Amino acid sequence: MKTEKYLLKISDFIVLLIFLNLGFINNSFADYPLSILVPQPKQGYIRDNFSAVFKLTNVMKLYLNPDKPAYRQAFEFNRELRKRSIDTLEYSFLKEKDNLIDGVAIGYDDVLLNRLINNIPEQKISVNSDYPGKEGYVLDIIPRQVIITGSDEQGLHYGILTFYQLLDKLFKDKSILPLRIIDAPDFPVRWVYYPTNFLVGANIDKLKPIWSNCANMKLNGILTGDYKWAFISEMPQRYFDSLKSTRDFAKDKYLDMVCGVFSFGYSNDILYHNPNWASGLPVKGQKFVIESDTGRLVPNINVTLPNGGLENYNGNNFSGFNFIDDPGVRSFVDTEIKHSGKASIRFSNFDSPQRQGTNARLSKRVKVNPFTLYHMSAWVKTENLTCGYITQMLALGKKGNALNYANIDVPTTTDWRKVDITFNSLDNDTINIYWGTWDAQSGKIWWDDLLFEEVAFVNLIRRPGAPLNVSHQLLDLVYMEGIDYDSLYDSKMGRVHGYGGDYDSWHQPPTFKRKASGNIHNGDTLLMSYYHTVVIYDSQVMITMSDPDVYTKLEEQFQILDSILKPNYYFMNHDEIRVMNWDYGDQSRGLTPAQILADNVGKCTDIIKKYNPEADIWIWSDMFDEYHNAKKSDYYLINGDMTGSADIIPKEIGIANWNSSKHSESLDFFSSKGFRQISAPYYDQDENNIRIWKEWTQNTPDFKGMIYTTWQQKYTHLEPFAEYSWNHAPYIYHYPTISPTIIVADSNWIFPVMFKGDRYDKGWKLTEASIYYRTDNTSDFKKIDINLDTSLIIDVPLKLPLDNKFLQYYFTAKDNRNWLTKIPFGNEMYFELGQLPNPVENIKQEYFKVYPNPLLNDEEIIIESTINEKLSIIITDIFGNTLIDTNLFPENGNKIIINSSSLPRGINFIYIKSCLGIKINKIIKI
């Protein structure tokens, strides 16, 4: 009775479709028909008692409320028809007396549409700004009539999108089953991260289909940005034209451009204006002797490697190092392949089972001078080298903390190439230095001609917050730049390839030159203190937060960007800040790093609000998260305590949380401080990462949504993201087939229901399913548990008392991911049935068949009966007024034929009384 009942109803449609030569596209009704939608709706059902489908015809019209015409959406509706080579619909205005139309009616928060939709006596609803809710909509379809009504303009747009998904996916002939959908999103923030270079025309062409796909799946924002926004004033006119066209394209698609600005952390874009704004590390009292008018560096400690050329060895052991991994096992003297001299070191034999995934390093412990700049280099060669982690040169301080984070470029296979890094010893007098591969997997690597030395002025920064001090070693003399010595600048600092913001870890530094007319003489010994910047990983450089000129330039560029885009949202790119609070500009303020950061966030927020007061502002979580990167100490090259900034920054800023390792603590941390949050799932993984992030945030207060976050521009999982950001399983499908004016007493009434799961989650299970009901509106709801089989239509029996006059009910379902779904959608919404004059028994469907339904014009009503007796037939309108009252015998093949000319257009009810009881049918006349 379960599956068969469902298949019987669907088979009626299939017979009809074959008869009309319709057929299916690449879909079937093996699953519930509405499961073809992306995302799946909150509530929806097929009206499976109709014997016809909706199909657009050229006589239909597009109806609008004359007092509140939705012209934009009407244009959108017709534009979509033209895309499908379907004739557009002529506009017409609704009248208050309309209770059934021939065409499509659209609007939002619309009284006339509410009146029209409630002429269909199922669940009574009123679509307004509160229901179904922001961005919500109702799509109601019967043969020859479609109603699309939204809570707001965005909701109406989404209702139109759903209509066209159904039109495209259900049947080849562009027809749609009679149905109702009530829908609204779980989250208001459903964004996709998509930065691009707006200067390149091909990039605009590339983004349009991806952004369109996002919009079609009801995603509502693109978190975008461009490196050049930081220096937008220098862009040509075609750049601004490109921005404007993209802005207009996004607006047409109902997509917000969420603009990423203020890159504090990855600051190379802002540093385009002045590379000297880079945050600096201090070099203190570095010694120079003046010879031939030039400063020669005199190291306080000789750090020369005793066997850097790898020429001294015994067997497979090299002298001069504290350790080398596994001599004779995976490290070997190689006299055949070397860069210079007679030997190099080769690491190999990684792929044997007992050795796979091991380290291959040389290490030396050395004494150094604190707050001094050092240079490491080597020549390296590889052959099919693979590793699970990294090949690098590394310096570790006394506490085991890294002093450098710069990557070196070592391809899988390469001939000899030189690699270099620099780092600051900071407060260390002893360090460990390494050349090697961590987690080596296979292949070979050779090292030769290792170098470790003290150097000066590499990436020297010059600004008021990073002063250069030159003094005599013994005398109380401070020398003046431009008077006693030539101006000292590193022309390669931040301009490796000629443009600002482009840094490297090593290049030939500038030299110090005395002026002949000054007070410095050849033979003098000088002490120099200065600041230099460092590169993190490949190219990351942090900007100072303490120079007023930085904020002047930020505001100048921001004003231009905002004047063009005027977005509703800004996203501040404070993220992975890794160098701070060493230079004079920071230190002179007497603040902790957390306070410097919070002050910076306040300044950036003020800039946004000055030009766009209504903008909603968001920011990455990590630098404010005390369970992530807001560490008490030892976070990269930050000097001091990063905790406490979350207590200072404005609470109206939203937090984009990407702390997956300590998600629970992090989410609670920000919630406890009163912040709104969104998450940033995907990270180029799969749909499970998106699903799990949503599960983590189930109980997070004021949680607003998700950003599809890809760093590799992989947009392959947008569909599951759209699903999870809009809705969640379990999905409940139930058609409330009885009119609200009818109630069946003293009988078992059957409530058919179907439960469906998460199509992206292989481990999904339904764990609870129930119907709740009550027979008056003051008592508590009673609960009946339901079979958990998700493969069937389940008939839930409900026996009502003899004197019953009222019924309210709803369904719930819960899954193993702890998601709970209720229909009808809405906290205080219930299916509600009214009263019959007398107790009746609703006869099983197979005794009678009533058709056609709907009736076209004055078609005759045909009743087929399997009972050979006189039948009492009463037909009423939706208000209970009797229109036809007759008694007839079935004739001509057990058929009764009734003239329908006296019936009004709209919904009517047929009561067929026999010895078995009463059969109730709803019939629509068009």
Residues 841-853 have pLDDT tens digits of: 445 556 788 889 8
Judged by average pLDDT, the poorest of 199-208, 647-656, 738-747 is 738-747
Residue 219 has pLDDT above 90, yes or no: yes
The pLDDT, as a whole number, for residue 879 is: 60
The pLDDT, as a whole number, for residue 527 is: 99
For residue 656, how many other CB atoms are within 10 A of its CB? 25
Residue 519 has pLDDT above 60, yes or no: yes
The band of 355, judged by pLDDT with boundaries at 50, 70 and 90, is low
- Report how far residue 796's alpha carbon sits from residue 736's, in angstroms, rounded to the nearest whole number: 13
The string of DSSP codes covering 192-216 is EE----TT-HHHHHHHHHHHHHHHH
Mean pLDDT of 71-95: 97
The pLDDT, as a whole number, for residue 901 is: 87
Tokens (6 digits) for 828: 């205080």
The pLDDT, as a whole number, for residue 16 is: 36
The band of 857, judged by pLDDT with boundaries at 50, 70 and 90, is confident
At position 216, the amino acid (one-letter code) is N
- Report how far residue 678's alpha carbon sits from residue 697's, in angstroms, rounded to the nearest whole number: 9
Closest-CA residue to 182 (of 137, 119, 126): 137
The pLDDT, as a whole number, for residue 122 is: 82
Q: CA 31, 34, 40, 43: dihedral to nearest 10 degrees?
A: -120
Residue 21 has pLDDT above 70, yes or no: no
Residue 913 pairs with which residues in a beta bridge?
Answer: 872, 918
Residue 24 has pLDDT above 80, yes or no: no
The pLDDT, as a whole number, for residue 877 is: 75
Tokens (6 digits) for 795: 């008939």
What is the per-residue pLDDT across 657-692, written as a single tens digit (0 to 9) for each? 999 999 999 999 999 999 999 999 999 999 999 999
The pLDDT, as a whole number, for residue 925 is: 83
What does pTM read for this prediction?
0.88
The band of 737, judged by pLDDT with boundaries at 50, 70 and 90, is low
The band of 773, judged by pLDDT with boundaries at 50, 70 and 90, is very high
Q: What value does the mean pLDDT of the chain take?
A: 92
The pLDDT, as a whole number, for residue 235 is: 98
The pLDDT, as a whole number, for residue 414 is: 98
Q: CA 671, 677, 681, 683: dihedral to nearest 10 degrees?
A: -100
What is the per-residue pLDDT across 804-827, written as a single tens digit (0 to 9) for each? 778 999 999 999 999 999 999 999
Residue 93 has pLDDT above 90, yes or no: yes
Taken as a whole, the chain contains a residue count of 926
Mean pLDDT of 136-144: 96
Residue 25 has pLDDT above 50, yes or no: no
Domains of the chain: 3-183 (3.30.379.10), 189-273+544-726 (3.20.20.80), 313-454 (2.60.120.260), 731-833 (2.60.40.10), 845-925 (2.60.40.3080)
Residue 741 pairs with which residues in a beta bridge?
Answer: none
Residue 835 has pLDDT above 60, yes or no: no
Q: Which residue has the tokens 């049935």?
A: 833
Mean pLDDT of 170-195: 96
The pLDDT, as a whole number, for residue 840 is: 39
Residue 3 has pLDDT above 70, yes or no: no
Residue 607 has pLDDT above 80, yes or no: yes
The pLDDT, as a whole number, for residue 833 is: 81
Q: What are phi and psi of 563, to 5 degrees?
A: -65, -25
- Report how far residue 593's alpha carbon sits from residue 332's, in angstroms, rounded to the nearest whole number: 46
Residue 837 has pLDDT above 70, yes or no: no
Residue 645 has pLDDT above 90, yes or no: yes
The set of long-range contacts for 241-245, using a CB threshold of 8 Å and a minimum separation of 24, is: 242/198, 242/199, 242/201, 242/204, 243/198, 243/564, 243/565, 244/564, 245/204
What contacts 300, CB < 8 A, 6 or more positions away?
A: 287, 369, 372
Residue 606 has pLDDT above 90, yes or no: yes
The pLDDT, as a whole number, for residue 14 is: 35
- Report how far residue 118's alpha carbon sits from residue 310's, in angstroms, rounded to the nearest whole number: 88
Residue 641 has pLDDT above 60, yes or no: yes
Mean pLDDT of 546-563: 99
What is the per-residue pLDDT across 588-600, written as a single tens digit (0 to 9) for each? 999 999 999 999 9
What is the per-residue pLDDT across 381-430, written as a single tens digit (0 to 9) for each? 999 999 989 999 999 999 999 999 999 999 999 999 999 999 999 999 99
Judged by average pLDDT, the poorest of 91-100, 678-687, 740-749 is 740-749
The string of DSSP codes covering 179-194 is EEEEE--S-SEEEEE-
The pLDDT, as a whole number, for residue 351 is: 78
Sheet holding 748-756, edge to edge: 731-733, 748-756, 794-799
